[in-house]
Amino acid sequence: MAAVTLPTVLHVIRPQPPGEVGGADLHIADLAEEQNRTGARALVCHYGNPEYGALLDARGIENSGLPADGLRRWTRHLRAYVEEIGPTLVHSHGYDADYVATALKVMSGTGKRKFPSYVISGHGFIRTGIKLRAMTVLNERCLRFADAIITAGAAEATRLRALGHADVQYVANGVRAAPGGGESFPMDALPLPPEGPKVVYVGRLSPEKRPDLFLGAARTLTRERADVSFVVIGAGPLLAEYEKRSANLGLSARVHFTGLRRDVPDLLAGADVLVCCSDTEGTPRAVVEGMAAGLPVVATRVGGLPDLVDDGTTGLLTDAGSESQLTDALRTLLEAPGKAAEMGGAGRLRAMEKFGVARMWAEISEVYARATSTAWPLATSHSR
C-alpha cells in the first residue's frame, strides 16, 4: 500500500522576545498540537526567541528557529525550510512573519518552484504610534497576496471584505478549558491579603494594552475598599516602569506583579474578575482563559472583544481609554459578588461552547480547504 501523504501546514511567526510569551505564540502551539492530533502535520518556523522552540519541543511540535540575526537571514531560512518539507500550505502570523512569507511568495512568482497556498492570520492590527501605523499599512498590503485571510474579530473581517478581499473568515481563538473546583491555587501564595476579591490583568505590559488604566483603577478602588487586591500577570517592556509606579503610589501591598508565568489558568482559578483594557485587540487568549475559569470580564469595546464578552451577561464592556468607566465597571462587580459569580458562570459555559481548540481548528480547516482545494481533517465534519 502506498504511503499516505498528510496535508502539511507550516506556521510562521516571530514570537515575543525571550522572557515573554504572547497570545499568538500560545495560539500557534495550541493549533499545531490540535492539527497534529487530528491527522494533519503541523510545523513551525520561528525567529528571535530560542525559548519558544523549547516550548514547542515540550509539546511535541516540529519546529525550526533562528536567533535574532536579521529578517533577510530568516527569509533565506524559511525558503530552505519550505523547500525541505514541501508544505501544502504556509500560514503566517504577525507583521514580521507576514512580510517574510509574502516576500517569498512574490519572489517565487519568477522562479521555478511554486510557493504553497498561503493564509495570513491577523491577530490584531495596531494603529497607535507612527512606526506601528506604518507597519500596519505594509502588512495590509501583504494581504492581497494571501489565498485566504483569518481575522480575530468579526468587525475586522467585515472591514477587509469591504476593501475587496474575497476570502476573509473570522475565527475566534480557542483555548482548553481550565479545570475548576480545586482546593488550593497559586494565587494563595502571592504576597497579598489572603481574604477579599482579586482583580487580574493578564498580558504584555506594552503601551497598547493600557496598564496605566488598570493601575489607575487599582489606585481608586484600593482607597475605597480595604479588601480588594490587584494582580498583573505578564512581562513586557513596561514591567519595570509600572512596578516603580505602583510603589511610588504606595500600592505595593495591594498590587502584585508576577512577571511571566506558565501557570496562568491555575492563577485565574483563584481570581475573581479579569480585566482587558487594551486600545486594540484581536481575540485575546487571556479573556477566553478568564471566561473558561469562570471569571466575569471587564473589557474594552475594541477588536474581537465584543465578540467574546456579552455585555451585561458574561461581563461588562467599556470605552477604550476610559479609566473612569473601567473603575465604575469594576466597582459594580465588586459590590455585587453574586451577580459577578453569575456572569462568570455564564462566561464559562460560553467559553466551553464557542471557544474551544477543537472548534477553532474545525473552522480553520475549512479555510485551508478553500485555499488549497485539499481535504483537511475536520473540514467536512464541522457544521456552524
What does the block give as the cell for 183? 482546593
Cβ atoms within 10 A of the Cβ of 258, count? Answer: 18
What does the block give as the cell for 334? 465588586
For 259-275, what is each residue's pLDDT tens digit?
Answer: 999 889 899 999 999 99
Query: What domains, with CATH codes, occur in the chain?
Result: 8-174+356-372 (3.40.50.2000), 186-354 (3.40.50.2000)
> pTM of the predicted model, to two decimals?
0.83
Of the pLDDT bands very low, low, confident and very high (cuts 50, 70, 90), residue 111 is: low
Residues 6 or more apart whose Cβ sits within 8 Å of residue 124 = 152, 153, 280, 281, 282, 303, 304
For 27-44, what is each residue's pLDDT tens digit?
Answer: 999 999 999 999 999 999
Beta-sheet pairing, 297-300 with 273-276: parallel
pLDDT of 178: 55
**What 3-state class would DSSP assign to 90?**
strand
For 326-340, what is each residue's pLDDT tens digit?
Answer: 999 999 999 999 999
pLDDT at 119 over 70: yes
Residues 6 or more apart whose Cβ sits within 8 Å of residue 349 = none
Query: How far apart, in whole angstroms, are the C-alpha atoms of residue 33 and residue 369?
Result: 19
**What 3-state class would DSSP assign to 256?**
strand
